[in-house]
């Protein structure tokens, strides 16, 4: 995808392309590669694509936070058994017990203590992450 000309453009600094056309409105609007360049100029260089990816990922994370929750009991039991329970603040544990633990944080904490989330939560973890993929 993309002609060699396009590629050359993205390799060099954007200034060289904007200077050719003079310092127009485009330059004022978009000064560097990133999400705006991706959306408005249709640039698909590595920088723009990864910026866009990060944006969508964080958006998805926020919107899913409410529904993707697990019962924290297996994780708490495991940490209690290994004596690591104190690593997690009491307030946080109570919140988990009350609201469930967000799947992203479940992932985070399991990995932090050296477990794979499925090892702790079993099929429930995969069920939630699959729902996320499908959404």
CB 25, min distance to Zn ion, A:
18
Angle at Cα 58 formed by Cα 52 and Cα 59, nearest 5°?
90
- Of 4 and 91, which has the nearer Cβ to Zn ion? 4
Minimum Å distance from CB 51 to Zn ion?
8
Residue 35 near residue 57, CB atoms below 8 Å:
no
Q: How far is the CB of 116 from Zn ion (least distance, A)?
A: 36
The residue (of 49 and 61) whose beta carbon lies closer to Zn ion is 49
Considering the complex, state which of residue 2 and residue 122 has its C-beta at the smaller distance from Zn ion: 2
Specify whether the CB–CB gap between 129 and 93 falls below 8 A.
no
10 vs 70, which CB is nearer to Zn ion? 10
* Residues making contact with Zn ion (CB under 5 A): 33, 37, 43, 45, 48
Q: Are 54 and 38 in contact (CB under 8 A)?
A: no
Is the CA virtual torsion 14, 42, 11, 49 positive or negative? positive
What is the closest distance, in whole angstroms, from the C-beta atom of residue 6 to Zn ion in the complex? 10
Alpha carbon distance 101, 72 (integer Å): 6
Q: Which residue has the tokens 């929750």?
A: 69
């Amino acid at each position: 995808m993309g002609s060699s000309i396009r590629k050359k453009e993205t390799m060099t600094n954007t200034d060289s392309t904007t200077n050719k056309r003079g310092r127009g409105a485009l330059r004022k609007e978009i000064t560097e590669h990133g999400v705006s360049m991706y959306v408005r100029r249709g640039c698909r260089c590595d920088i723009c694509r990864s910026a866009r990816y990060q944006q969508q990922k964080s958006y998805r994370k926020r919107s899913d936070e409410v529904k993707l929750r697990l019962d924290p009991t297996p994780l708490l039991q495991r940490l209690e058994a290994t004596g690591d329970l104190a690593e997690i603040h009491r307030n946080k544990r109570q919140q988990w017990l009350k609201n469930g633990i967000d799947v992203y944080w479940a992932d985070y904490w399991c990995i932090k203590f050296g477990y794979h989330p499925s090892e702790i939560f079993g099929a429930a973890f995969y069920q939630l992450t699959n729902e996320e993929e499908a959404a």
